[in-house]
Amino acid sequence: MEFLPENNDLLGIGISLIACSLVGLEREYKNKSAGFRTIVLIGLGATAFTIASRFGVGSDDRIAANIITGIGFIGAGVIFKDKFSVMGLTTAAVIWVVAGIGMAAGMGYHSLALSLSVITVIVLSLFNKVENAMEKLFLTRTIYVEFGDTDTGNLEKLKGMMDEHRIKYTRKTVAKRAGKLSVVFELSADRRNLQQFNNAMMELTYVEEFYYNS
């Protein structure tokens, strides 16, 4: 039995470490839940299992295939749903891609692993700027509004004010609790109109509380 890894395996581990470090540094810089160490360890783990799958007996492709299943559990751990939205999907997708990078390095496709890491960093950084630029033109926000009483006429007044500010809205939920009416809307508008709407909301005496979740 060989106790020392082959040169190709050492090269694959090194490529995996470099490639996953590129992605991990970007995640760490943005202070994400899956940071530098987590991303690197996921990539190295995928590389190790892929290398090990080549030395087994029989249908050892199952080891590499089951990496995807295992990564699914890790990805699910960083996804959580609050009252209005789902968070952590991008981080889960990054974990999935990093596992692919590690598997590519373990299989000996070193150029593919490095290329994927560079492309991933570009997508995470450059595409984020594209999203921010689009937000300046058109925003979609979820707003929670609590009225001081249960008078549905106030809700109609609020809808009329949204129309005045050219804000498209969809009512998600409506509830009554402790003698107060609360509503959740999804709003779509350009940044200027939304800001003007926010300023107008501050002056409404029948709105007790409002906040955004986005």
Q: Indicate the domain borders of the chain.
A: 7-133, 138-212
pLDDT (tens digit per residue) in 152-202: 888 899 999 999 998 999 998 888 888 889 999 999 888 888 888 989 988
CATH architecture for segment(s) 138-212: 2-Layer Sandwich (3.30)
Mean pLDDT of the chain: 84
**How far apart are alpha carbons 174 and 206 in whole angstroms?**
16
pTM here is 0.63
In angstroms, what CA-CA distances link 89 with 20, 96, 140, 177? 19, 11, 18, 32
Beta carbons of 23 and 40 less than 8 angstroms apart: no
